[in-house]
Structure 1
Amino acid sequence: MSFKIAIIGAGSVGFTKKLFTDILCVPEFADIEFALTDLSEHNLGMIKAILDRIVEANSLPTKVTATTDRRKALEGARYVISCVRVGGLEAYADDIRIPLKYGIDQCVGDTICAGGILYGQRNIPVILDFCKDIRELAEPGAKFLNYANPMAMNTWAAIEYGKVDTVGLCHGVQHGAEQIAEVLGAKSHSELDYVCSGINHQTWFIDLRLNGRRIGKDELIAAFEAHPVYSQQEKLRIDVLKRFGVYSTESNGHLSEYLPWYRKRPDEITRWIDMSDWIHGETGGYLRYSTETRNWFETEYPQFLEAASKPLDASKRSNEHASHILEALETNRVYRGHFNVKNSGIITNLPQDAIIESPGFVDRFGINMTSGITLPEACAATCISSINVQRMSVHAAISGDIDLLKLAVLHDPLVGAVSTPEEVWQMVDEMVVAQARWLPQYADAVPEAKERLSKSKVKTRDWAGAARRNVRSIEELRAEKTALKQAG
């Protein structure tokens, strides 16, 4: 079969390579076309060279094109995949740096909280541009697969305002299931059957069965507390499991910034996080990791290109949803996964307009969600708090209403636990001014925001956060990788 896949933000080199190799693990897909597009010609050149090397090494008829002209890439595409980060690491640094001045300590800052909300403001106008191009240029009925964060806000905007057939995709559920299978002593992940439901990055394992036997709260707590690694790395997550009765999909660091209880006092933060890796709660951890990864890739690019000459191995196909969804839609091989879509009755005790993440099955008829799921009350309450923030954030991004944006940030659980209304109002002004070039919808609001900042008497602090680490040099990264090889 032959069809076209457009990847927007293909300059995310490592992730694009993973999606590409996953898709080519489907035998029927050898003759398809990949159209790569990105703002960066430099990154496009690197990823195209890698993908061309893979095609050549495996003697495939696959076609790969690359262009900075997004509309050209979208012409005739049946599937469009987005993995963009609007504003790049420069804007992302402000998402972490500015809230710290007001006492808000984030680990990732890409979903909700101050950083995630501003990230959404940058992304949503661009997402709507993508949708317009898809409607005008792509194959009729083209499907938009959104991998970009903030997942719920981006998907909400694409469905509600972009009017494009959209599904949001994330790997948090798979990673959480892998942990659970490990602590329960499963010989393989296939022994664990589970139902996970909620909203992206706040999804809950509400039904767990190991070889058909239901796993209860007490058994799961005991298994995590006995694990030599997870008992230390996932302290906050285990505490939520004890109190809510169900395990969250999200990492210790991610989960910590969606709740109002664990990161509101600097002296409490270090009690709940673990510094063995960024994902367990380090201040600005993902920003540091992303910066190091970019620097490492730029330096070690020849090695990445060399590795692309290896034969494809279908056994190493990842659990990212995209390739499995495309395979199901095109070949009718049924795939079960967890997908981000508009609620519309899927979860009974969450708002109908919300973007939820829940189980579904894919075949040639499309993505078919399992309806009638009811979350435990505490899980629903936590999700609803975030949904209310997401809804206001999307509406603010569409309208350019800076007052609504401030109200969205004010209602964020962690922001509300840390900052006063006066601090929130000034912080949002400061973030909008700093990121004005990526926020066209707020152009009229920027002059007044600057004027307010010039007269403000709200005090800020010069604070790096409770658990910040410096970006490591290439030499430090190389020495660490060498040490790990020698130890392993």
Structure 2
Amino acid sequence: MSFKIAIIGAGSVGFTKKLFTDILCVPEFKDIEFALTDVSEHNLAMIKAILDRIVEANNLPTRVTATTDRRKALEGARYIISCVRVGGLEAYADDIRIPLKYGIDQCVGDTICAGGILYGQRNIPVILDFCKDIREVADTNAKFLNYANPMAMNTWAAIEYGKVDTVGLCHGVQHGAEQIAEVLGAKSPRELDYVCSGINHQTWFIDLRLNGRKIDRDELIAAFEAHPVYSQQEKLRIDVLKRFGVYSTESNGHLSEYLPWYRKRPDEITRWIDMSDWIHGETGGYLRYSTETRNWFETEYPQFLEAASKPMDASKRSNEHASHILEALETNRVYRGHFNVRNDGVITNLPRDAIIESPGFVDRFGINMAAGITLPEACAATCMASINVQRMSVHAAISGDIDLLKLAVLHDPLVGAVSTPEEVWQMVDEMVVAQAQWLPQYAHAVPAAKERLSKSTVKTREWAGAARRSVRSIEELRAEKAALKQAV
């Protein structure tokens, strides 16, 4: 087979490498072309060198090109994969820093909450530019695979306004299933059969079967509470499991910021999180992790390049959906996964226009969703709160309506639990002004926002958050990795 895959945001070096090697694990895909594009020539050069080294080491006919000219990369592409972060870590730092001034403590801030909503405002205009290029220069039947957060908002915009065949992809479901299989004592995650449904980062394991035996709520609670690690790292998720009766896919830290109950007071935050790793609830945890990862890669790049010289091992193909979807579409080998698509009745008690994450099957006829799923009422209610925020956020990003943007932030569950309307109005003004270079649709609103800020009487504070850690130096990271290696 010979076709072209374009990767937008290919400067996300580690993730691009994973997608690349996963796809080349499919025997029929050796003779394809990868077209890499990014706004950073530096990152493009690094990832192209790594991928060229993999191709050379494995004696493959695969072609790899790299360009900052996005339309050139998209020309004739059958599949387009996006993993962009508009504004990079600079804008992301404001997504965490500014809400903290108003008492809003986020662990990740890339899905909803104040940070996730502003992230969507930066991404959506760019996503629509991608879609325009796809319609004009890509293959007639091109499929857009979106990995970029905020997943639901980006996918919603691409489908409703970009008019491109789009599917959103995430790995939260797989990771949650691996946890459940482990606590239940399975020898392999393959022993666990499950139905997981909801919206991205708020998906729920509504049916669990281990080797054909149905697992009920009480057995799952007991298994998690008995686990020596997860009982401490996933305290909030376990509490939600006890109250809702089903387990959520998302990590302890991520889940905590989608709900109005656990991060509303600083003393409550420390009660529910675990500081053994960023993902369990640390303030700005993903920002710290992302910063350290970037710094580590830049410093240790020669090691990554050397590792690329080793032969690929198809047995190490990851469970990221992209390669499996492409394999199913091109070879007709059926793949079952969980995909982000427009609902259109798949989940009976969520709106038709919402972007849901739910089970589906892929073959040469496309992605076919398993329809007729009904969520438990509490799960549907929690999803609905986020869907309403997502809808307003998408429409605000399209229209450049700053008042609608403020209403979207006001209706966010965690923001609403912490902040007053007056505080929300000022916070959004401050975030829009700080991020104006990435928010062209709000250019008309920036002068008035600056004027309001100059006259504001709303009090803020410089606050690091309830559980903040400093970015570690390269020397500290080296020492930690050496200690872990020695312990093993």
TM-score higher than 0.5: yes
The separation in 1 between residues aligned to 2:37 and 2:442, in whole angstroms, is 27
Task: Provide, for residues 418-468 of structure 1, a one-character-per-residue CA deviation record: whole Å limited to 9, x for no partner.
Answer: 000000000000000000000000000000000000000000011000000
Deviations 1:314-354 (A, max 9, x none): 10000000000000000000000000000000000001100
CA distance in 1, matches of 2:284, 2:190: 35
Q: C-alpha deviations, 1:153-177, integer Å up to 9, x for none?
A: 0000000000000000000000000
Paired with 1:449 and 1:458, the residues of 2 have a C-alpha distance of 14
Q: Secondary structure at the match of 1:464?
A: coil
Q: Say if 2:64 is the partner of 1:71.
A: no
Deviation at 1:207, TM superposition (A): 0.2
Q: Distance in 2 between matches of 1:462 and 1:3?
A: 52
Where does residue 135 of structure 2 map in the other structure? Answer: 135
> Structure 1 CA distance, aligned partners of 2:39 and 2:67?
9
Q: Which residue of 1 aligns with 2:414?
A: 414
Measured in 2, the distance between the counterparts of 1:272 and 1:402 equals 34
Distance 1:187 1:436 in 2: 51
Output one character per residue of 1:286-308: Cα deviation in whole Å (capped at 9) or x when no partner: 00000000000000000000000
Distance 2:227 2:49 in 1: 43
Q: Who is 1:252 aligned against?
A: 252
> For the residues of structure 1 that align with 2:367 and 2:256, how far apart are their CA atoms?
31
- Secondary structure of the equivalent of 1:444? helix
In 2: Cα distance, 1:165 partner to 1:373 partner = 23
Per the TM alignment, residue 118 of structure 1 is displaced from its structure 2 partner at its CA by 0.1
C-alpha distance after superposition, 1:386-441 (max 9, x if no partner): 00000000000000000000000000000000000000000000000000000000
Measure, in 2, the Cα distance between the counterparts of 1:255 and 1:189: 22
- Quote the Cα distance in structure 1 between the aligned partners of 2:479 and 2:192: 38
Give CA-to-partner distance per residue, 1:347-366, whole Å, 9 cap, x none: 00001100000000000000
For residue 7 of structure 1, report the CA deviation from its aligned partner.
0.1
How far has the Cα of 1:126 moved from its partner? 0.1
- Give, in whole Å, the separation in 2 of the partners of 1:332 and 1:266: 52
Distance in 1, matches of 2:432 and 2:7, equals: 29
Q: CA deviation at 1:381?
A: 0.1
Query: Does the residue aligned with 2:444 lie in a helix, a strand or coil?
Result: coil
Secondary structure of the residue aligned to 2:181 is: helix
Q: Using the alignment, how far apart are the partners of 1:17 and 1:473 within structure 2? A: 25
Counterpart in 1 of 2:181?
Answer: 181
Counterpart-to-counterpart distance in 2, 1:134 and 1:337: 25
Deviation at 1:141, TM superposition (A): 1.3
Deviation digits for residues 102-148 of structure 1, max 9, x if unmatched?
00000000000000000000000000000000000000010000000
SS at match of 2:340: strand
Q: Secondary structure at the match of 2:7?
A: strand
Per-residue CA distance 1:264-287 (angstroms, 9 max, x = gap): 000110000000000000000000
Q: Secondary structure at the match of 2:262?
A: coil
- TM-score under structure 1 length normalisation: 1.00
Aligned partner of residue 445 in structure 1, secondary structure: helix
2:366 aligned partner: 366
Q: Secondary structure at the match of 1:198?
A: strand
Q: SS state of the match for residue 270, structure 2? A: helix
Specify the SS of the correspondent of 1:461.
coil
| In structure 2, C-alpha distance between the alignment counterparts of 1:209 and 1:310, rounded to whole Å | 39
CA distance in structure 1 between the aligned counterparts of 2:234 and 2:389, rounded to whole angstroms: 26
State the distance in 1 between where 2:444 and 2:303 align. Answer: 47
Deviation for aligned residue 1:57: 0.2
Report the CA distance between 1:74 and its aligned residue.
Answer: 0.1
- Determine the C-alpha separation between the residues in 1 that align with 2:214 and 2:159: 36
TM-score (norm 2): 1.00
Partner of 1:93: 93
Secondary structure of 1:384 counterpart: helix
SS of 2:238 mapped into structure 1? helix
Offset at residue 50 of structure 1 (A): 0.1
SS in 1 for 2:106: coil
3-state DSSP of counterpart to 2:253? helix
Query: Matches of 2:84 and 2:14 in 1, distance apart?
Result: 13
- Corresponding residue of 2:109: 109
Residue 55 of structure 2: aligned partner = 55
Q: What are the superposed Cα offsets for residues 231-252 of structure 1, whole Å, 9 maximum, x if unpaired?
A: 0000000000000000000000
Q: What's 1:326 paired with?
A: 326
Distance 1:432 1:64 in 2: 38
Residue 180 of structure 1 and its aligned partner are, at CA, apart by 0.1
Report the counterpart of residue 26 of structure 1 in structure 2. 26
Aligned to 2:431: 431
Q: What is residue 456 of structure 1 aligned with on the other side? A: 456
The answer to whether residue 352 in structure 2 is matched with residue 352 in structure 1 is: yes
Matching of residues 27-426 of structure 1 within 5 Å: 27-426=27-426
SS at match of 1:380: helix
The CA RMSD over aligned residues, in Å, is 0.2
Percentage identity across paired residues of the two chains: 93
CA distance in 1, matches of 2:150, 2:35: 24
Tell me how far apart the structure 2 counterparts of residues 224 and 37 of structure 1 sit (CA, whole Å). 43
SS at match of 1:373: coil
Partners of 2:232 and 2:382 lie apart in 1 by 24
- SS, match of residue 275 in structure 1: coil
Secondary structure at 2:287 match in 1 = helix
Give the whole-Å Cα distance in 1 for the aligned partners of 2:50 and 2:158: 31
For the residue of structure 2 that corresponds to 1:195, the secondary structure is strand
DSSP-derived class of the 1:129 partner: helix
Q: Distance in 2 between matches of 1:272 and 1:57?
A: 47
Aligned to 2:7: 7
In the TM superposition, residue 86 of structure 1 has moved relative to its aligned partner by 0.1
Secondary structure at the residue paired with 2:367? strand
